[in-house]
Amino acid sequence: MRSLPARRLAAVALTAAASVVALAGPAFAHVTVNPGSAAQGGYTAVDFRVPNESDTASTVKLEVNLPLDHPLASVRTLPLPGWTATLEKSKLDKPIKVHGSDVNEAVSKITWTADAGTKVAPGQFQEFRVSLGPLPTDADSMVFKALQTYDNGDVVRWIDESKDGQPEPAHPAPVLKLTKADGGDGHGATATPAAGTHADSSDHAAGSDSGSKADDSTARTLGVIGIVVGVVGTAVGVLGLRRRSGGSAS
């Protein structure tokens, strides 16, 4: 039997490698909270990172719903050129105490709307920064369900909650993990940043997140490369065996 041409084997290997890369790609396309964790009871600044997944449409609106089962007394948005942020408040069924005072309403929804001429185009992403606090002390995570609207009218609902032991849903809601505060007193070791140090604190948080994201991206990339190398190596091995078999037969 004649062996397959080397070009055909190479094409098979490349096709398999491309499929692996294509399957790995969507894992990076979710709407996420960054950094992904913060101390219970404290204040933090987070970015809602929104990638544009469409090849033909642009993102022009983001709606983020804040959980009212653990209401936040302080919610502030960082001005973003080209975008208008609107905060909606809801009456609480049960007032919460913050610094000794009763709080009867809390922000339940933040909407960012693009101004004329502004958009998140295909191949781009945008980050929407928010200061939150004090974070709850009786929860280990907060889920922020989000809606992403495109200029062609499409709406992607990032509202599915992940469950332990189950595959990740197609459109998972952004989640902020809550960790025990240093000292274990549960009252929050993360203080509200002073005006002069807000940028430094935010940059530090962003830097830490960048490092963790870089590690995650590196691990994924190395995994994909390993699979690709394995596929190519297998193809080369098969080619070698066929050539050796052909030589022996002759």
> CB under 8 Å to 65, separation ≥6 — which residues?
108, 109, 144, 145, 146
Give the strand pairing for 175-179 and 37-39. Answer: parallel
Q: How many CB atoms lie within 10 A of CB 233?
A: 11
pLDDT in tens, 1-49: 444 555 555 554 444 444 444 434 444 579 999 999 999 999 999 999 9
The CATH code of the domain at 31-192 is 2.60.40.2230
Q: Name the percent of the chain lying above pLDDT 90.
A: 53
21-30, 87-96, 126-135: the lowest-pLDDT one: 21-30
Q: Please list the alpha-helical segments (H only) found in the chain.
A: 6-24, 198-249
Question: Domains of the chain: which residue ranges?
Answer: 1-29+197-250, 31-192
Q: Name the percent of the chain lying above pLDDT 70.
A: 62
pTM of the model: 0.65
